[in-house]
Structure 1
Amino acid sequence: MSTPRFVTIPDHVAIIMDGNGRWAKKRGLPRAMGHRKGIDAVREAVRTAADVGVKYLTLFAFSSENWRRPEAEVSDLLGLLKAFIRRDLAELHEDNVRVRIIGDRANLRPDILKLLEEAEHTTRGNTALTLVIAFNYGARDEIARAAASLARDVEAGRLRAQDITPSLIEARLDTAGIPDPDLIIRTSGEERLSNFLLWQAAYSEFIFLPQYWPDFSRETFYTALETYAARDRRFGGLSAAKAAPAAVVV
């Protein structure tokens, strides 16, 4: 299947991959099977993003709240993350994909932390698609950590409180150096952010899809991109058509 051309391609697409468990339940399968099928959808999303020219793809892989799930499910999710990186890292590197991890790394298991750092280190020089994996990530926690970092600088006299700006806060977020998402997609029919990129989503476009994540395909991604291309992004101002000066008749 040839890759279509879109009028507008978002530089940064972020995806809340939701519905693995419900996909499995609908088919009478264990939840773990839904997560495993979801990994196939991850691979398809990464390939599609690279093919159409998306520069950044952020995937909400594991939230800071996911630790509350049953121990067996958490163990399975961590195992899938490890398997994905071990199996796919060489291919991602060969395809010039850079991997970045966002989320709180404090108190992570040494084997998980080592794997995440290896993925970043191996691909740090790559210049095509940047694949951002949100692991042990929560937006409120991210903002709190950024605020605490700035507070420490104020206490140490390196920074004045009145000099703190949105730009300084952004520089302390996990996503420092990554542009805000142009488009956020959530699957499974749910219509909420669930503590994902709260700061960065200020002017993002949202698309909520009915499909469960394991059913997310290249065609699904294309449909979302077509919808995005038809949006009129104003960032608080006027649309391009309305902002254009009226013709003067003499």
Structure 2
Amino acid sequence: MSSHQKPRKTGQYGRLYDILEYEFTNDALLREALTHPSLEGGKHYQRLEFVGDRVLGLVIAEWLHDYYPSLDEGGLASRHTNMVRKEALAEVARDMKLPDFIHMAKSAEDNGGLKKSSILADVCEAVIGAVNQDGGYLNAQKLVRKFWTRYIDQDAIAQRDAKTRLQEWVQGRQMQTPKYVMTDRTGPAHAPFFTIEVRVKDWEPEVGKGTSKREAEQDAAAKLLRRLES
């Protein structure tokens, strides 16, 4: 840490401040953003989610406008939809390590609440809303740009969302759900490398590789989808 930077707070959210690269003046706002409605008797994330949804939409719209100067309104709109979809929000929430900080009733947690994309997406928007309310729009904009940088490249979005697009393709033709089977795992425990095969009935399977199961599945899905669509 350089000499001109003040030290981060060391409370329960100290690690999260470091991840977000933003330190709250009002910790209560952050706690509200991280609190699931299953915890009765106090504030929860839904009001801040409302704010965060609007802030995120505006930040992404402005960013796309500048990033793609020759793109028409329809092209901007489709890219905007990709960047604010539930799956992207949930993945950003995982990048932020938000599941480690969410407060929810044990019954909701036991029901898989910390893994549900819908909940993670809501909390992600609430955190953006909380930053906006605590530190203003420019800080919220900085946060969004930090965690959405990889999504601004639409080729990367298409690659990362290949599983969803493959699922939609087979469902639209009343075909069976794709199956993903890990066929190999190499490398040490701290740096594994996965080989995964995706199978759709009546079609030759495709093989994907990656440093995580998710990456390998996306790779396999993208390859099979390209073949199916051709």
User: Could you tell me the TM-score, scaled by structure 2's length?
Assistant: 0.24
Q: Select the structure that is richer in helix.
A: 2
Q: Select the structure that is richer in strand.
A: 1
User: Could you tell me the TM-score, scaled by structure 1's length?
Assistant: 0.23
Structure having greater relative contact order (Cα 8 Å, sep ≥ 6): 1
